[in-house]
Amino acid sequence: MILNIAAYHFTAIDDPEALATELRARAEAGELRGTVLVAEEGINLFLAGVESAIRIFLDQLRADPRFSDLVVKESRSQAQPFARLKVKRKREIIAFRREGTAPLERRAPAVAPDVLARWIAQGHDDDGRRLVLLDTRNREEVGYGTFANALTLPIDNFTDLPEALTPHRTALADATVVSFCTGGIRCEKAALWLQADGMDNVLQLDGGILGYFEQVGGFGYEGRCFVFDERVALDPELKPLADRVAVA
């Protein structure tokens, strides 16, 4: 079995080039494959390999005080889902192109997966406000699955989200809006930006869809979750379709 990990962490990186070089060497030593993005605002990674090598990589990374509280989402697959290792220095670890959206000093309020599941079952938050789930992913990702009755937007890039959401802003004013994405990184930026732009009723789903699947399962979710590797999409049990067919 291959252990797959997805993680991101916002923290100030003084020398992204040096960190990228260091992480590449560690990943190559463990024969890991996947993608590692490094920017001045932090890191974003999707890696896969044998479990012992993944654990060593994570132990080394968390030994750095900047990443000591790194949160990682795990899943397993029968085969290696990445063709090669790519380590890149980027301007942002997820492109949004708006100033002040990296949560280096604060993050937008978050809702835990079990709380969101309760709100979905109730149809409202704990204060009785109606619930709106806002999908911040693009239309291709949404096509594989999303939360039932979620507000989805006809976007191809994350950078298009603010403009696409504009026509809905007035209608959302009386709701508790929970933004969500694959693993949480887009919500970190989107929710922070939207709150600064006057939407103080926006929360983010902590850990994204993958974190929800891991902690709650598929309650309220329809379909699968698109992922950025050869597995294509995972079901609420965090299994790719190919693995389920093989088991069946």
Catalytic positions are: 181
Distances (CA, A) of 36 to 9, 47, 65, 80, 127: 12, 8, 19, 16, 40
